[in-house]
Structure 1
Amino acid sequence: MQTEKVVNHIVDWLKDYATNAKINGFVIGISGGIDSAVTSTLCAMTGLDLLCLEMPIHQAPTQVSRALNHINWLKENHDKVSMTQVDLTPVFDQLIEELPSVENEESRFMSLANTRARLRMTSLYYFAAIKNYLVAGTGNKVEDFGVGFYTKYGDGGVDLSPIADLLKSEVYEIAKYLGVNQEIIDAAPTDGLWGDDRTDEDQIGASYPELEWAMAMNDQGKSADDFEGRQHEVMKIYKRHNTSNSHKMNPIPVCEIPKNLK
Structure 2
Amino acid sequence: MQTEKVVNHIVNWLKDYATNAGVNGFVIGISGGIDSAVTSMLCAKTGLDVLCVEMPIHQAQSHVTRAQEHIAFLKQEFTNVDDTHTNLTPVFESFKTQVFQDGDPATIDMALANTRARLRMTTLYYYAGIYKLLVAGTGNKIEDFGIGFYTKYGDGGVDLSPIADLLKSEVYKLGAFLKVPESIIKAGPSDGLFGDARSDEDQIGATYPELEWAMKMDNLGKTATDFFGREQEVFKIFKKLKNTNKHKMIAVPICEIPNNLK
Could you tell me which amino acid in structure 2 is paired with residue 5 of structure 1? K
Counterpart of 2:255 in structure 1 is: 255
State the match for 1:78 in structure 2: 78
The match for 2:13 is 13
Q: What is the CA-CA distance between 1:100 and the residue it aligns to?
A: 1.3
Please give the alpha-carbon distance, in whole angstroms, between the structure 2 residues aligned to 1:176 and 1:69. 16
RMSD across aligned positions (CA): 0.5
Give, as a single letter, the amino acid of the residue that structure 2 aligns with 1:167: L
Unaligned runs of 5+ in 2: none
Q: Distance in 2 between matches of 1:55 and 1:155?
A: 12
Tell me the amino acid that sits aligned with residue 28 of structure 1.
I
Deviation digits for residues 133-170 of structure 1, max 9, x if unmatched? 00000000000000000000000000000000000000
Residues of 2 paired with 1:101 and 1:139: CA distance?
30
Q: Given residue 189 of structure 2, which amino acid in structure 1 is its aligned partner?
A: P
In the aligned structure 2, how far is the partner of 1:173 from the partner of 1:6? 11
Q: Which residue of 2 aligns with 1:175?
A: 175
- 1:46-90 CA distances to partner (integer Å, 9 max, x unpaired)? 000000000000001110010011001000000110000000001
Normalization by structure 2: what TM-score?
0.99
Number of the residue aligned with 1:102: 102
Structure 1 residue 257 displacement after superposition = 0.4
Matched residue SS, 1:83: strand
2:32: which partner in 1? 32
Which letter does structure 1 place at the counterpart of 2:111? S
Give the Cα separation in 1 of the matches to 2:93 and 2:39. 29
Q: Deviations over 1:86-125 (max 9, x none)?
A: 0000100011011112122221111000000000000000
Q: Which residue of structure 2 lines up, in the alignment, with residue 49 of structure 1?
A: 49
Q: Find the counterpart in structure 2 of residue 235 from structure 1.
A: 235
Aligned residues: 262
Q: Measure, in 2, the Cα distance between the counterparts of 1:131 and 1:195.
A: 29
Aligned equivalent of 1:246: 246
Aligned to 1:128: 128
- Give me the whole-angstrom Cα distance separating, in 2, the residues matched to 1:104 and 1:236: 25
1:192 counterpart residue number: 192
Give, in angstroms, the shift of residue 183 of structure 1.
0.1
Structure 2 residue 71 is matched with structure 1 residue 66: no
**Cα deviation code 1:180-216 (max 9, x no counterpart):** 0000000000000001111000100100000000000
* Structure 1 residue matching 2:222: 3-state secondary structure: coil
State the percentage of identical aligned residues: 66
Q: By how many angstroms is 1:132 displaced?
A: 0.4
Q: Helix, strand or coil for the counterpart of 1:53?
A: strand
Amino acid across the alignment from 1:113? A
Matches of 2:8 and 2:198, distance apart in 1: 34
Distance 1:126 1:223 in 2: 44
Q: What letter corresponds to residue 77 of structure 2 in structure 1? A: N
The secondary structure found in structure 2 opposite 1:154 is coil
For 1:145 and 1:83, the matched residues in 2 are separated by 30
